[in-house]
Structure 1
Amino acid sequence: MDGGGRFARSLTPRQTPAGKRTGAATGGNQRGTRGREPSRPTAPATDERTRLFDRAVIGGRRFFVGLSASRALSCGAGTWLTLALFAATGVYGLERGGHMPATVEAMRDMGDAAANLAGFRIANVNLAGQNHVTPGDILATAGVKPTSSLLFLDAEGARMRLEELAWIKRATVQKLYPDRLDIQIVEREGFALWQKDGKINVIARDGTVIAPYSDDPRYIRLPVVVGDGAQTNVVEIVEALSLVPGVRDKVRAAIRVADRRWTLKMRNGIDVRLPETGLADALEQLALLDQQKSLLSRDITIVDLRLPDRVSVRLSDAAYEARQAELKAQAKAKKGSNT
């Protein structure tokens, strides 16, 4: 009881084992409650763990709302991922099946058709600079077809493909809208013939193989170089021989030896062995000996210029035998004169 003779009502109702409330909540003692509304059951007192649980529930409700939005986003992302997976699978299948080039070509044709309807069909192609390469080869390499449109033509790609051709040193591809294409090329010039492994090719000044040798009149008078490394050192020997035209006109081929020096094969079968260094000086010496003593017209097989202080000559077998017979005759005549 409190000081006023009233029973103190518990703020926390008790529960019976059957789960029924007792005390003030069940009306067991109504004294002091007349005229008043029945008290509502108060919420059970909560401890720290209960409060934490409530906050967790609230947090869970908030997370549930966020999860619903995330699911909506995830559904959209999942759709795009699925489409991307199917697209990647299709591309992989086309690549594995070898159908990718045909598919890309078909898509390009569709784009060209649409662009052509819009007035971008290539109607005029101006070619300049070609000599050895045919116009058909140029257009095919550049990817220009009767159905091609100027809008979807890759000018840079066409230029790069053209410069991959052996004869073309430099190319320029320019699109002039709406329907004109200009292609200008600079061709390589045949500088020499390079023989290796029984095959002869026309090479440019930088050693690039341009084309196999043919009976084209433009190739007949080109100098011939032979062996490994001859193509990359061709300028050295050709320019050195150009300074001694009397020797150059008698040379059949220049042979690269061990990629270190040259041996000249003359038209009459003489081999001229040149040094590793001082090539120009050795050729000038050879030209002087031929002019003064007709060295390259004699019955010899080898002229060795590898030593700077001497010139060695090897006679042919017939010349050697004739020389030996001459020496014997001279020795015999000398012996007879002494007796």
Structure 2
Amino acid sequence: MQLLSREQVRFYSGVLFLLAVVASLVYGSMVVRDWLKDEQRMPVQVIDFSGQYEHINIARLERKIRKSQPGSFFELDVNEVFRLIEAQPWVYRASVRKQWPNRLKIYLVEQQPVARWNDDMLLNPYGDTFESEGITLSLPQLFGPGGSEKTALEGYNAMKSLLATSSMSIAELSLSERFAWQLQLTSGIKLNLGRKEFIDRLQRFIDVFPLLSKQDKPVKYVDLRYDTGLAVGWQSDENDNKQS
């Protein structure tokens, strides 16, 4: 049997020592990893919501977050939480970040509804639709073909500003498939503005309304689809139209 020299003994001892250190480090990292992944040791104890909101159901949103991210603080995926939150109908924008050691901070910007769209959706100020989730709000009604949301809202805003000068407001606006405009005012008067120059035609109605309001009969509708003049229907006699 050949004996190892002193140098060889030192070399192999060093190799064994190095292997032992490496094994210890690997084992230790696995233990630490398992410890950090353990939800019982490092749970997300607090989900801190901030921002201005009225209609977002915070309790339901927190349950959805915890269900989608059941792991520990270190395993929680901020990007997944962000996508989940921004998919909620009443959330317009959100930001999400972790805060050591056990907190998730979420800032919410709520949708601002300005009108109802085709009975089943809401419109925000940018013409984007979102679901109402059963929340009932007193808002003007806008109707139109799919894809015309922004056009309808822009027209509504322009006519709303014009009518405000005469203390009148819109209860319902309809945009037909051929993009003809119809309004119903909060007073109940219906206006048929047609497709072209609807702002000028609305101004014509505003100019003549003081004369119409002096009549004995209340106005039912006004048809403004004329180059000059208008047609008036009266509440007391549906079959009697007055050409002006």
| TM-score, normalized by the shorter chain, greater than 0.5 | yes
CA distance in 1, matches of 2:218, 2:231: 14
Aligned runs of 1:63-74 on 2, under 5 Å?
none
2: CA distance, partners of 1:256 / 1:141: 38
The offset of 1:135, in angstroms, is: 1.8
Q: What corresponds to 1:252 in structure 2?
A: 171
> What letter matches 2:122 in structure 1?
V
Deviation at 1:171, TM superposition (A): 1.1
User: Aligned partners of 1:223 and 1:139: how far apart in 2?
Assistant: 32
Q: Which residue of structure 2 aligns with residue 28 of structure 1?
A: none
1:311 corresponds to 2:234: no
User: In the TM superposition, what is the alpha-carbon distance from 1:252 to its structure 2 partner?
Assistant: 3.2
Greater relative CO, 1 or 2 (CA 8 Å, sep 6+): 2
| Distance of aligned partners of 1:213 and 1:265 in 2 relative to their CA distance in 1, 3 Å threshold | farther
Task: Give ranges in structure 2 of 5+ residues lacking alignment.
Answer: 1-33
Question: Aligned ranges for residues 6-85 of structure 1 at < 5 Å?
Answer: none
Higher radius of gyration, 1 or 2: 1
Give 1:149 shift. 1.5
Aligned residue among 272, 286, 291 for 2:210: 291
Matched, 1:228 2:149: no
Q: In the aligned structure 2, how far is the partner of 1:120 from the partner of 1:322?
A: 77
1:209 equivalent in structure 2: 130
| Closer/same/farther in 2, CA of residues 178 and 322 from structure 1, 3 Å limit | closer
Q: Does 1:177 align with 2:96?
A: no
Q: Tell me, in whole angstroms, the C-alpha distance in 1 between the residues paired with 2:91 and 2:69.
A: 23
Give the fraction of aligned pairs with identical amino acids, expressed as a percent: 20
Aligned-residue offset at 1:263? 0.6
Counterparts of 2:199 and 2:63, CA distance in 1: 46
Give the Cα–Cα distance (whole angstroms) in 2 for the partners of residues 280 and 143 of structure 1: 51
Which has the larger share of strand?
2
Structure 1 match to 2:16: none
Q: Is the 8 A contact 2:69 2:77 kept in 1?
A: no
Please, which of 90, 97, 122 is the counterpart of residue 167 of structure 1?
Answer: 90
Length-normalised TM-score, structure 1 = 0.51
Unmatched 5+ stretches in structure 1: 1-110, 324-339
Return the TM-score normalized by structure 2. 0.68
**C-alpha distance in structure 1 between counterparts of 2:241 and 2:175, whole Å:** 33
Are the aligned partners of 2:93 and 2:108 in contact in 1 as well (CA < 8 Å)?
yes
Aligned mate of 1:138, from 53, 61, 86:
61
One-letter code aligned to 1:163? E
* Alpha carbons of structure 1 residues 178 and 303: separation in structure 2 relative to 1, 3 Å: same
Distance change >3 Å, CA 150–CA 270, structure 1 → 2: same
Partner Cα separation in structure 1 for residue 95 and residue 194 of structure 2: 44
* Paired residue type of 2:193: L
1-structure distance, mates of 2:215, 2:113: 29
Query: Is the Cα–Cα contact under 8 Å of residues 190 and 210 in structure 1 kept in the other structure?
Result: no
Provide the alpha-carbon RMSD of the alignment.
Answer: 3.4
- Contact 1:169/1:187 (CA < 8 Å) preserved in 2? yes
Paired residue total: 205
Task: Name the residue aligned to 2:44.
Answer: 122
Hey, what's the Cα distance between the residues in 1 that align with 2:49 and 2:208?
52
Paired residue secondary structure (1:190):
coil
**Is 2:37–2:75's contact at 8 Å kept on the other side of the alignment?**
no
What is the distance in 2 between the residues matched to 1:192 and 1:116? 44
- Partner of residue 279, structure 1: 198
Give 1:147 deviation, angstroms.
5.7
Note the C-alpha offset of 1:160.
0.8
Q: Which stretch of the first structure deviates more once superposed, 296-305 or 239-248?
A: 296-305
Q: Per-residue CA shift, 1:7-52, capped at 9, x if unaligned?
A: xxxxxxxxxxxxxxxxxxxxxxxxxxxxxxxxxxxxxxxxxxxxxx
Amino acid at match of 2:145: D
2:116 paired with 1:187: no
Q: CA 1:264–1:179 in 2, change beyond 3 Å: closer, same or farther?
A: same
Contact 1:163–1:171 (CA under 8 A) maintained in structure 2: yes
